[in-house]
Structure 1
Amino acid sequence: MPLESLPSFFTGVSDSSWSHFDLNIASGVAIFFGGQAAVSVFALRPLYGRIWHGWYNAPGCHAIVWALVRTLLQGSSSSYSERLALSLGLDGKEGPQYIASRSGTVMPHTRHLAYVLNKSNWEGKECKPVPVGQRNSPTPMQLIIVDFKKKVLTENDTLPPRSSRHSSLSMIASATSIAACAICASVEDWLSFKMILLGIISSGITSFIMSIGHITLERLKPAHGAPRGDGMLLSDSRIVILRGNEEDVNAVTKGKLRLELKGGGYTVLLCAFIALLQVTLQVVFMPFGSLPGQLMFLLSLLVSGVCNLYLSTNEDDVKSSALIALLNTPEVKTYQAHSRAAAATLASLALCWESSTPPRQVLRAIIPIRQRAWKAWSEFIVENIREKRTHYVWGENKSTKRLDEEESKLLHALIDDAHAAHDQYIKDHNIT
């Protein structure tokens, strides 16, 4: 179809046989779909930090209004920045159990950054999982060693978290909304034109405000003379080893995230008012638009809603990519242990090789060493680490003599796992 005939085509639509379709209700109701996705994407704005994100007519703004109003209505026992981070899901997730290997402290639950670390899909050459062991155990585990070589910055010195994942997706929604505006203008449906433009501007302003927001990390300072914070985050299928100063590890296990906006609570109120104005005017006036205008309005909502839904389904991936920047780029090494025994061996080496931490303490937190085969196996682990042996050694002792045939088979399988893990760790860390 020639470009010059495009306006006449849409002008003729309202007079065609399609005119019996009534989109008045649909154009009003559609605004209220996708509320949760809209809030999720709204919360990602400060993680992207791009002021051109969000300039499109999007559904679900009523949910953003409620999230912002809830932030303002909550008690004054905490700052608005803390409440805002909780309302938008930037903080508040419960992390896994943490066991400090040096102090013996056990935290049944940790805070949001520990949750992010435990759920993160680590990427990059250094983070590619190294397979350890040959046995196909029903309980494989991933072990990640995180070394804090640089100081984790907090408060006003917090590094700006940034992610580039899926960042170009907003351009599709923006282009669709602008094209919908142009088509409405071509058919001289100025009401629909204004309503779509209202959505673009209001969403753009609130997104701009959020994109220049500053996420800060608040942590508790340890007591003077506290030992290093080495320990492990322990979940069913993953162990995350944290090695560094107590203050840096505390940033992960106990740190609180804040979302600071210029203007403070008044800016939150302004964003809520703008979003509420958009929803109210679109609900009231959009049903009076022409059929082509309503179709364009619904098209802009559909494309924007799909983009929001896609970004919200990848929310954890985007957040982990950005929030890990808060930790000042720690060194990461990942292992894919084929068995829990191999993972326990790696954890013991990572936490006990260069410290006086008893390996048995680490092993007991991961595996059931009360059984005779496991107990005999743990004795070999403890001895090899205590003697700082670069080649794994095992033999007969009092514990092995008490084992029956089945337990001896299990012990040999466990020793093979430990041997593979020991050799791999020594090789990767250049220990001689």
Structure 2
Amino acid sequence: MTLKIPLENSSFNLDVSGIAGFFGGEESFAAMSSVHLVRGRRWLGWYNSPGSYYVAKKYGVLAKSRVWDGLYPGVNVDPTTMLELDGKVGPRYVAAHSGTRMEKTGHLAYLLASHYSDLEVDQVIPGPSAKSEAHITIASLEEFKEFEGYPKLPADHLSPFDPIATVPIAFSVGASVMCAIFGDWYCFAMIILGVVCNGVSCFVIGSGVLKIKQPNPSPHSPPGDGVLFNAPGSRVILLKGSEKIISSITRGRFFLEYKSQSQYHDIGYSSVALTMQFLLQLFIVPQGQLFGQIMFLSSLGVSWIFNAYLASVDREDLQKRILMRVLLQKPTFRTVALPKWTSLVVFAAVYLQAKPEGTRGLLEQLIPNDTAVWRLVKSAVVEAVERNKDPSEVVAERNLDHLDNQERGLLEDMMKQASIGYNAGNDFKL
């Protein structure tokens, strides 16, 4: 008994081939971009995904040769940067002991600053006003220890396998089986082609090994203690630890290692396969029956929903988890609120206990003001740290006849804040 094809006598033709290569392209690209952060994700791309042409154009620029550049023109970029595992600019960094000054740091510092930016305040240092305007997060970093498989990041710290990934696979296979049962071999072939092309592409892109690259400072380097900050008045992150661990934050990065680098021919071939998938679907899907076209479109719809689900995953959050658990091994930290920026800067200088030149450099970076009053404030703080004495007492020992009344008033206000920061820095225990 031969089964009758549903909707066989309908005169309506559902021409979906024209949208197959474009619809859902951004979601498909975003979904594939998480392939290195989710366990088993590279093996779970076997479904008929929409947006094949868009994905091919995005990944095609990774391959490097005259042929690939002709097929997929554009600036050749690194896979790590394209997949947003590197490339973000971190905040400024000022070291308290080594004299290091960095106007911008790297991707790991960006992740760390983002992780600490919205933490709740653990301690409030009271001041003249009820409102605390400056916040500093103090993080104590353990000495770096090589983890198993170093420098390859261990898979057990990636996002766990998500069983929802089996839904689009099952639906695409089911849709192709339904097309075969009713003899629509055109739509059957195009669904299977989409499954194979997307699966191979996901496997190829996911074949890169996620590793961490770190500088290797001298074992005799001074401690790397210092502060990360974007601008005066912003949230400050005070880091205490060895030069090795802190330089890993400021100058280290994630990177993907492919067997095919630096030409990435395998990525180029998979991009060609996705392009051919789009072209074949453009011509062949209209030859199928209406029922088969509905099955084809349904498989794209389910896959698009799954890709949108994957695209909603916060990839930065997954990277932060890897950074905090693997590289930094769950550091101890506390966030302190201080009345003003001046009290915060003095708190940091006192807590770091740098040599006079280090304290001076820290103050110059955090308080760039260059007036008579501010020069006096900064020199008093440097001397106070050196002598272990309250900055207000240091200023009281100096001749202030060269200051007018307005400057004396400003100096008095600043020294009140300096005293608050000095006492808080001396008393603080992490």
* TM-score bucket (shorter structure): 0.7 to 0.9
For residue 321 of structure 1, what is the aligned residue in structure 2? Answer: 321
Q: 1:152 to 1:342 in 2, by over 3 A?
A: farther
User: What amino acid is the match of 1:85?
Assistant: T
- The answer to whether the Cα contact below 8 Å between 1:191 and 1:289 also exists between their aligned partners in 2 is yes
- The answer to whether the Cα contact below 8 Å between 2:190 and 2:285 also exists between their aligned partners in 1 is yes
For residue 98 of structure 1, what is the aligned residue in structure 2? Answer: 93
For residue 147 of structure 1, what is the aligned residue in structure 2? Answer: 141
1:260 to 243, 257, 260: 257
User: What amino acid is the match of 1:145?
Assistant: A
Q: Is 1:298–2:301 an aligned residue pair?
A: no
Q: 1:248 to 1:30 in 2, by over 3 A?
A: same
For residue 365 of structure 1, what is the aligned residue in structure 2? Answer: 365
User: What amino acid is the match of 2:21?
Assistant: I
Cα distance in structure 1, aligned partners of 2:206 and 2:354: 43
Cα distance in structure 2, aligned partners of 1:370 and 1:84: 45
- The answer to whether the Cα contact below 8 Å between 1:143 and 1:336 also exists between their aligned partners in 2 is yes
Aligned pairs for 1:95-134 (under 5 A) are 95-120=90-115, 129-133=121-125
Q: In structure 1, the residue corresponding to 2:137 is in which secondary structure?
A: strand
- The answer to whether the Cα contact below 8 Å between 2:215 and 2:244 also exists between their aligned partners in 1 is yes
Cα distance in structure 2, aligned partners of 1:182 and 1:427: 68
For residue 41 of structure 1, what is the aligned residue in structure 2? Answer: 31
2:235 to 230, 238, 243: 238
User: What amino acid is the match of 2:255?
Assistant: R
For residue 250 of structure 1, what is the aligned residue in structure 2? Answer: 247
- Structure richer in helix, relative to its length: 1
Give 1:362 shift.
2.0
Q: In structure 1, the residue corresponding to 2:224 is in which secondary structure?
A: coil
- The answer to whether the Cα contact below 8 Å between 1:35 and 1:62 also exists between their aligned partners in 2 is yes
Q: In structure 2, the residue corresponding to 1:317 is in which secondary structure?
A: helix
Q: Is 1:348–2:343 an aligned residue pair?
A: no
- The answer to whether the Cα contact below 8 Å between 2:59 and 2:268 also exists between their aligned partners in 1 is yes
For residues 190-245 of structure 1, the C-alpha deviation after alignment (integer angstroms, 9 at most, x for no partner) is: 43333233323332233234445312233443357443333333214333334333
Give 1:330 shift.
5.0
TM-score (normalised: structure 1): 0.73
For residue 49 of structure 2, what is the aligned residue in structure 1? Answer: 58
- The answer to whether the Cα contact below 8 Å between 2:391 and 2:418 also exists between their aligned partners in 1 is no
Moved more, 165-174 or 186-195: 165-174
Q: 1:186 to 1:101 in 2, by over 3 A?
A: farther
Q: 1:381 to 1:163 in 2, by over 3 A?
A: farther
Cα distance in structure 1, aligned partners of 2:178 and 2:420: 66
For residue 414 of structure 1, what is the aligned residue in structure 2? Answer: 417
Q: In structure 2, the residue corresponding to 1:145 is in which secondary structure?
A: strand
Give 1:58 shift.
1.9
- The answer to whether the Cα contact below 8 Å between 2:91 and 2:105 also exists between their aligned partners in 1 is yes
For residues 11-41 of structure 1, the C-alpha deviation after alignment (integer angstroms, 9 at most, x for no partner) is: 545656xx53x531x4322422343443333
Give the root-mean-square deviation of aligned CA atoms.
4.3
Q: Is 1:164–2:162 an aligned residue pair?
A: no
Q: In structure 2, the residue corresponding to 1:300 is in which secondary structure?
A: helix
Give 1:83 shift.
2.9
Q: In structure 2, the residue corresponding to 1:149 is in which secondary structure?
A: coil
Larger-gyration structure (1/2):
2
- Which runs of 5 or more residues in structure 2 are unaligned? 67-75
Number of positions where the alignment pairs a residue of Structure 1 with one of Structure 2: 404
Aligned pairs for 1:330-345 (under 5 A) are 331-335=331-335, 337=337, 339-341=340-342, 343-345=344-346
User: What amino acid is the match of 2:34?
Assistant: L
For residue 194 of structure 1, what is the aligned residue in structure 2? Answer: 189
Q: In structure 2, the residue corresponding to 1:45 is in which secondary structure?
A: coil
Q: 1:205 to 1:353 in 2, by over 3 A?
A: same
Q: Percent identity?
A: 26
For residues 121-147 of structure 1, the C-alpha deviation after alignment (integer angstroms, 9 at most, x for no partner) is: 689xxx765253465769544535251
Q: In structure 1, the residue corresponding to 2:62 is in which secondary structure?
A: helix
For residues 258-288 of structure 1, the C-alpha deviation after alignment (integer angstroms, 9 at most, x for no partner) is: 3123455354344334433433333332233
Q: 1:276 to 1:122 in 2, by over 3 A?
A: farther
User: What amino acid is the match of 2:57?
Assistant: W
User: What amino acid is the match of 2:17?
Assistant: S
User: What amino acid is the match of 1:23?
Assistant: L
Q: In structure 2, the residue corresponding to 1:56 is in which secondary structure?
A: coil
- The answer to whether the Cα contact below 8 Å between 1:82 and 1:259 also exists between their aligned partners in 2 is no
Cα distance in structure 1, aligned partners of 2:202 and 2:319: 17
- The answer to whether the Cα contact below 8 Å between 1:160 and 1:214 also exists between their aligned partners in 2 is no
- The answer to whether the Cα contact below 8 Å between 1:121 and 1:317 also exists between their aligned partners in 2 is no
Q: In structure 2, the residue corresponding to 1:329 is in which secondary structure?
A: coil
For residues 280-330 of structure 1, the C-alpha deviation after alignment (integer angstroms, 9 at most, x for no partner) is: 333332233333433343333334334434544523223333355552525
Cα distance in structure 1, aligned partners of 2:235 and 2:257: 33
User: What amino acid is the match of 2:165?
Assistant: S
- The answer to whether the Cα contact below 8 Å between 2:180 and 2:188 also exists between their aligned partners in 1 is yes
Q: In structure 2, the residue corresponding to 1:365 is in which secondary structure?
A: helix
